[in-house]
Amino acid sequence: MEDHVEKFRQADALAQNILRLTRNTLLVNLRFLDLALSQFQLTSYPGTLATDGQHLFYDTYYVLSMYKQERGRNVRDYLHIVLHCVFRHLFTSANIDRRCWDLACDIAVESAIEDLHLESAACNRAYAQEETLKELRSQVRPLTAEKLYRYFLDRHLSDDQIARLREPFLADDHRAWYLPVKSGQGTGGGGQSTGRTPETGTPGKQKSGRGGQGSRTTPKSGTERQRQDLEQTWREISERLQVDLETISRRHGTDAGNLVQELKAVNRETYDYADFLRRYASLGEVTQVNQDEFDYIYYTYGLSLYGNMPLVEPLEYKEVRRIKEFVIAIDTSGSVSGDLVQRFVTKTYNILRQQENFFTKINLHIIQCDAEVQEDRKITSQKDFDTYLDTMQLHGFGGTDFRPVFQYVDELIQAGEFTNLKGMIYFTDGRGIFPEKKPDYDAAFVFLDDGYDAPDVPVWAIKLVLQSEEI
């Protein structure tokens, strides 16, 4: 037994040296990843290659085997795991389809690695990916995890289809991403592994293999606070890395391809459209029962004392916030799709028509504009909105100038058409002239994510970027 322990310790020490050499190789070739590469604690764990954002869990004998067979494999696997963290793939929703998400993340990472043209990361896996990447690039632009995820979801792939697609891109086990977090503060950790399994504290039976392929054990989860801290750490690393890469690109003309695109996707400031609309709600005269103040003890006491006669205190009411006055501006220039406009207005309507969002009587203006105001349709009820959608026609198709809408709304305010206008939302492709002066109400410009950077908006405006599937 002691001999077995000593052999394992020697093997693990060699594996850790290989991983340090791998990290240093990446540092030499990809200096902009220095901070990301330094984050991991090396931890030997049987039958897996994985990360939880803090540890790099590795199978000792697998690392040794790959070093003998194909040295570029260790480099590519290490970089693969680092980029998962940089792109924050492991910090995802609990309701996500794991099959499609795992596949999308692996392909996005491998595509980014391919764009780097790193000789030290060359291995047979890269050659097996070529045809799939070529086909996907003709269908999905850019190859970010989010876009690939939606692409695969829409095709309702079977488990066998997903397995075949993932095989050339598979490097690590993702199960640590989905482990439930524990309550409490936790004990933390640090340093490098001693070759002990986290569960038993004794050397485990080593099983050479890669992530997701025959692994039967999974590293333990951390606390909720630790996970939040980890996510924030990787967010800061991602944002810094994006700035560094964009600086490098401007100075030297280098192109990191999907690496830059993925960073822009994960770091972009986005808003939930429904939440955005709620910010324009105003405290109104409509009241409703305050359920928080309803005394159920008093109610049930009456039932027990008098049979079927509950005791009910005088009901308390509270004012509610709903949208009363609002402007929807639609860019009807030649560069904006009529189908997208229809879908956007419908989405807005579906959000607003919810009872808790809208007053019974409203003052909503839907304004169409290209280089000048083409139409202003006033909506005062849900019936008006239904009629507008049924008869909606776009007018314009000229150039794009945002200023006429703001001038027109200012005139409506001066004329007394609005008494408490809270905001305007402008649906556009962004290729137009923005007003220089901030209006007296909040304004947001909504862009469709087309794979490229959305235009900058004035400092006083809010920018929303919606995925096509969100419209």
pLDDT tens track, the chain, 471 positions? 678 889 999 999 999 999 999 999 999 999 889 999 999 999 999 988 999 999 999 999 999 999 999 989 999 999 999 999 999 999 987 788 999 999 999 999 999 999 888 999 999 999 999 999 999 999 987 888 988 998 999 899 999 999 999 999 999 999 999 887 665 443 333 344 433 333 333 333 334 444 544 444 667 666 778 888 899 999 999 988 888 887 765 544 455 656 777 787 777 665 567 777 766 665 444 444 445 544 555 555 555 555 565 545 554 545 555 667 889 999 888 666 677 787 888 888 777 666 455 556 678 899 999 889 999 999 888 788 888 888 888 887 788 899 999 999 999 999 999 988 888 999 987 778 999 899 999 898 988 766 556 678 898 998 888 766 666
What is the DSSP code string of 55-103?
Answer: EEEE-HHHHHHHHHH-HHHHHHHHHHHHHHHHTTTTS--TTS-HHHHHH
Say how many residues make up the chain: 471
* pTM summary value: 0.62
322 in Cβ contact with 279 (< 8 Å): no
Cα separation of 270 and 268, whole Å?
6
- Phi, psi values for residue 202, rounded to 5°: -125, 155
Nearest to 368, CA basis, from 343, 335, 393: 393
Two structure tokens written together for 101: 């998400």
CATH of domain 273-286+323-470: 3.40.50.410
Cα separation of 103 and 269, whole Å?
25
pLDDT at 246: 73
442 in Cβ contact with 279 (< 8 Å): yes
Specify the amino acid at residue 214.
G
Measured at the CA of 239, the angle between CA 233 and CA 244, to 5 degrees, comes to: 125
282 in Cβ contact with 420 (< 8 Å): yes
Cα separation of 189 and 196, whole Å?
14
268: Cβ contacts below 8 Å, ≥ 6 apart: 465
Cα separation of 10 and 267, whole Å?
42
Cα separation of 320 and 289, whole Å?
10
Half-sphere exposure (Cβ direction) of 297: Cα atoms closer than 13 Å: 2
Q: How is residue 426 annotated by DSSP? A: E
pLDDT at 28: 92
End-to-end CA distance of the chain: give it in Å, rounded: 63
Sorted by where each begins, the domain ranges of the chain are 2-267, 273-286+323-470
R_g of the chain computed on alpha carbons: 28
What residues form DSSP beta bridges with 330?
368, 427
CA separation (Å) from 172 to 19, 51, 109, 144, 471? Answer: 15, 8, 11, 18, 34
Q: How is residue 460 annotated by DSSP? A: T
- Burial of 456 from C-beta contacts in 10 A (0-12 / 13-18 / 19+): exposed
86 in Cβ contact with 238 (< 8 Å): yes
The DSSP element (H or E) to which 226 belongs, if any, is helix 224-252
Specify the amino acid at residue 64.
L
CA separation (Å) from 173 to 26, 52, 201, 216, 416? Answer: 21, 10, 22, 11, 62
Q: Is 202 helix (H, G, I), strand (E, B) or coil?
A: coil
pLDDT at 200: 31
- Burial of 55 from C-beta contacts in 10 A (0-12 / 13-18 / 19+): buried
Nearest to 63, CA basis, from 33, 101, 22: 22
